[in-house]
Structure 1
């Protein structure tokens, strides 16, 4: 049977010991955000995820969503679970208190989101999309729209979606054909079809608010002619209750490889009443507020699945008896040793553990920067935080989701045939994890975003937000022998990253395809260095805590051992990635198209 227990001890380590989350209370608007508040929130989130959401994960996958006569029904137990989730205040956790939200810092929400994704990824998509919709509406909507829709979205009685993709266009949204024609009263009549719309229709909330990309009649061609519109499923009455049905309907739901309890819908808009969000023809800027929020959230989906896959694999490896240790029986009283004694099983388990713990630390670092950008009154600190979040968003999305899929596959391998069958739940994690590498921009698109936009933005200013703290850390710790086994490998990998960055910048200006050819390897190289930096920092904290004799020696020794494994067995991948990048892209660019 599948198992999940929220890793609260490691989460507290990341939140308080590594990233000093207690210091958030020094930021304007976060004065009350202290560990005394955070700890009960995390504990209650763990309880909800373990006891309410996780038990529905397998049954939700097996039953899936049902579509009949335009109505989508979520699996058994989902309505009740969502009611518990909403009444517990989890839909309002990060929202602005001005609209009834709790204003919990993003770094804490990173940990909560991970728990939800570990427990039940399909369920998490419904409230997760609403969080992104709220961000877009607050940032770009009129006061009238915010006053009408935000309180209901925050309390979770209404939910939100993001409607971008059409049958003929996905990443290239400049091909969007959905039309919006202005009415005399300031509203619009919106018509078109959108596909792959997560949570586009369901029975969890009384209304669904769609954020839709469309073209105005006078729109210029391409991406510069896209506008963003708000389209409710039911038009609100004056008292805020859902009124008559709007011109939007679900035409079908997709039959998918995974996340089967999440309704992925075809939505048809037939002269639906819509309201403009933001300025005409500036819809992509507005939508990217939501999209970037979702890209970070999708990264956490990978992290959540990595953690729960690791836990399931460890539990199985402790119990499964098979063969004897190569150095002799470790459990002579048993007919065979548990497979956790075998080196290759340990390799897989430690790869899974290092990925999950490293990504948790990195994700929280980015989450902390989101909080600084949103709350600091220091213009320099705000700019640095915004630069860092912009730089790391494609890395978090791609690296974390790649690791989510890789880790789930390791889990299957650890379990062997028992991992491939449904009983232990591991095969579901593989299926669920696969979509995270695809939606919100495929991971190849994330790599292109990194090399094509983020590296060159503001004359390379984004890079300084990462390169400077890493360089300072290396320089200031280079003479510490206790840290050398962590700092020395980081130093070598960081040099490779700097050289690869220079190479891409140099050749990319003359031959953009060269940068594109190196993009995926470069993103992984960058991500591994970012993880190595977090592991070196975690090692420093752990060594200090061991000196202080806190009584948790086992925890900190395990942290040091996992970090050492990462440095010895994972980080050397940067050498191969560097060689691939420096080899250039001619072998793929010049390959004859007809020969494929």
Structure 2
């Protein structure tokens, strides 16, 4: 069975050497007294033990057994309950939660490292607590003090879990079509009636209660998305003193039989006059739910990185040991019948592509985490506003680019194994199946691309885009900045293309949808180029301290800049070809 080992050395490099996170935390008053380099190191070390030794060993067995549904009750695979009990003892659900309600209050830059470990170890297990963390974020941001005091402490503790109930059979992306109803009751609660599908962790046997966040419509609600409200609907009713009462009118009708993440229960949830309480303002529920959804989108993006890291680790180990044929330049291991396949150019292409994209993604996720910390904790209003602008711009890129390239990496990892990659025991085929969902849920990647180009770039005439590209150009102007010519060229192409699309979309709205996916990928490759140049700069200064590590960083950066960044050239040409060819066929001709 493949092993997973948290990539601590590279995480330390990203946090401490690339971004100097401890210096950032020290200047943010809300974090200065709670986290420093030593605290971060202790958390990373313990997280590595929990994910590598407790959770990762359940990955394949959980996939084989899957979550089970019987008589309205869901059971998780053997070992999950015991592992979850140990997991919550460490306070991991509340790692970045509000300390006023029992969370640990750690920065997001640190939390993203932990999330990557968790997804790399076992994506199905990770989802149960990921939904809880997101639900806590929404409640903390929008619920009343009474609801927060009642629900957040046991949720941060992990005794209660959270879920996100949006989708209905007829309403996926277009949530304005939902039919779930909320009738006001005399005691101030609401009676919730309707059915939701694709609810991750909608039922399970890990926690004593599940707190559902449910989108529903009030009787006098406006039509469409402006008429959606958000309600907290517990599986078990909660008394005023926080103790559990009677079961609520909430039931799990079935679970889905899926391609991957089989140990994660994906539920049909029925609300039959269930008691619920309004979160935030009436008819403003979609905005409140997006607080959770945006958290989940970054988290699910990190699932792509975690799976890619797990695939890479296995593929490298296999490529070093598997002997087949001789190197093109002659025998490398003349004492053996053949050479290890890691000497072959195509195997090296796949492995380097995986390494470059995974480590680039780790740096990008940490950068987004940095902006989230600044948006939340900075005392400088201008810094907060800039960070929030960047978070809004980069969240769809993180979700879609991490998961698109995460699948590509897992497929490369499977391919390195050849025929063995298709066999269950080696673990690669499970990673391909598990990571595939990440391109679909929490808003399909096509929707993320539309959001990026239409709402985040074109809607403000490129202001947010230039906030980001301005940082790249500032770096490229440094005297010792590596790859400055490539960065200037890449940014110029991105900005010129954005302006070209602004003009085209003014007369033909089809141009946005036609270009959006390729545009998001082009954006992602440019962002990674900047981060790889920054990593190469740091590694160049410190190469003498550790040639093996820093030399590998520089070599990987060189591979990325010269072999992967040029993908933007074909993406640009595809975009500039326009939308006309997409409409050359009538619907009947397909």
- In the superposition, the TM-score normalised over structure 1's length comes to 0.98
Residue correspondence of structure 1 range 393-472 to structure 2 within 5 A: 393-472=395-474
Q: Is the Cα contact below 8 Å between 1:387 and 1:461 reproduced in 2?
A: no
Q: In structure 2, how many angstroms separate the alpha carbons of the residues matched to 1:367 and 1:560?
A: 24
Q: In structure 2, how many angstroms separate the alpha carbons of the residues matched to 1:277 and 1:89?
A: 25
Q: In structure 2, how many angstroms separate the alpha carbons of the residues matched to 1:27 and 1:590?
A: 55
Q: Is the Cα contact below 8 Å between 2:461 and 2:502 reproduced in 1?
A: no
Q: In structure 2, how many angstroms separate the alpha carbons of the residues matched to 1:311 and 1:336?
A: 23
Alignment-derived partner of residue 543 in structure 1: 540
Alignment-derived partner of residue 6 in structure 1: 6
Point out where structure 1 has 5 or more consecutive residues left out of the alignment: none
Q: In structure 2, how many angstroms separate the alpha carbons of the residues matched to 1:41 and 1:396?
A: 24
Alignment-derived partner of residue 496 in structure 1: 493
Alignment-derived partner of residue 304 in structure 1: 306
Q: In structure 1, how many angstroms separate the alpha carbons of the residues matched to 2:304 and 2:407?
A: 7
Alignment-derived partner of residue 586 in structure 1: 580
Residue correspondence of structure 1 range 42-53 to structure 2 within 5 A: 42-53=44-55
Question: How big is each residue's C-alpha offset from its partner over 1:58-109, in whole Å with a ceiling of 9 and x where there is no partner?
Answer: 0000000010000100000000000010001111211111011111100000
Question: How big is each residue's C-alpha offset from its partner over 1:441-468, in whole Å with a ceiling of 9 and x where there is no partner?
Answer: 0000000000111113445332232111
SS of the residue corresponding to residue 30 of structure 1 reads helix
Alignment-derived partner of residue 566 in structure 2: 572
SS of the residue corresponding to residue 162 of structure 1 reads strand
Q: Which segment is superposed worse, 386-395 or 318-327? A: 318-327
SS of the residue corresponding to residue 410 of structure 1 reads helix
Is 2:536 the counterpart of 1:553?
A: no
SS of the residue corresponding to residue 182 of structure 2 reads strand
Q: Is the Cα contact below 8 Å between 1:385 and 1:465 reproduced in 2?
A: no
In 2 relative to 1, CA 575–459 (structure 1 residues): closer, same or farther, beyond 3 Å?
Answer: closer
CA-CA distance at 1:490 after TM superposition: 2.2
Question: How big is each residue's C-alpha offset from its partner over 1:294-324, in whole Å with a ceiling of 9 and x where there is no partner?
Answer: 0000000000001010001001111111111
Residue correspondence of structure 1 range 332-371 to structure 2 within 5 A: 332-371=334-373
Q: Is the Cα contact below 8 Å between 2:96 and 2:105 reproduced in 1?
A: yes
Identify the match of residue 229 of structure 2 among 227, 230, 241: 227
Is 2:548 the counterpart of 1:514?
A: no
- In the superposition, the TM-score normalised over structure 2's length comes to 0.98
Q: In structure 1, how many angstroms separate the alpha carbons of the residues matched to 2:560 and 2:102?
A: 43
Question: How big is each residue's C-alpha offset from its partner over 1:272-310, in whole Å with a ceiling of 9 and x where there is no partner?
Answer: 000010111111100000000000000000000010100
Q: Which segment is superposed worse, 191-200 or 88-97? A: 88-97
Q: In structure 1, how many angstroms separate the alpha carbons of the residues matched to 2:459 and 2:160?
A: 37
Residue correspondence of structure 1 range 254-273 to structure 2 within 5 A: 254-273=256-275
Question: How big is each residue's C-alpha offset from its partner over 1:493-538, in whole Å with a ceiling of 9 and x where there is no partner?
Answer: 2211111111111111221111110000000000000000000000
Alignment-derived partner of residue 26 in structure 1: 27
Q: Is the Cα contact below 8 Å between 1:307 and 1:356 reproduced in 2?
A: yes
Q: In structure 1, how many angstroms separate the alpha carbons of the residues matched to 2:511 and 2:227?
A: 30
Alignment-derived partner of residue 189 in structure 2: 187
Identify the match of residue 104 of structure 1 among 83, 106, 118: 106
- Matched pairs, number: 588
Is 2:138 the counterpart of 1:153?
A: no
Q: In structure 2, how many angstroms separate the alpha carbons of the residues matched to 1:335 and 1:367?
A: 49
Q: In structure 1, how many angstroms separate the alpha carbons of the residues matched to 2:145 and 2:548?
A: 53
Is 2:529 the counterpart of 1:528?
A: no
Q: Is the Cα contact below 8 Å between 1:309 and 1:407 reproduced in 2?
A: yes
Identify the match of residue 116 of structure 2 among 109, 114, 117: 114
Alignment-derived partner of residue 197 in structure 1: 199
Q: Show structure 1 runs of 4+ deviating over 3 A.
A: 456-460
Q: In structure 2, how many angstroms separate the alpha carbons of the residues matched to 1:472 and 1:435?
A: 37
CA-CA distance at 1:200 after TM superposition: 0.2
CA-CA distance at 1:585 after TM superposition: 1.0
SS of the residue corresponding to residue 250 of structure 1 reads strand
CA-CA distance at 1:472 after TM superposition: 1.2
SS of the residue corresponding to residue 191 of structure 2 reads strand
Residue correspondence of structure 1 range 309-328 to structure 2 within 5 A: 309-328=311-330
Q: Is the Cα contact below 8 Å between 1:114 and 1:304 reproduced in 2?
A: yes
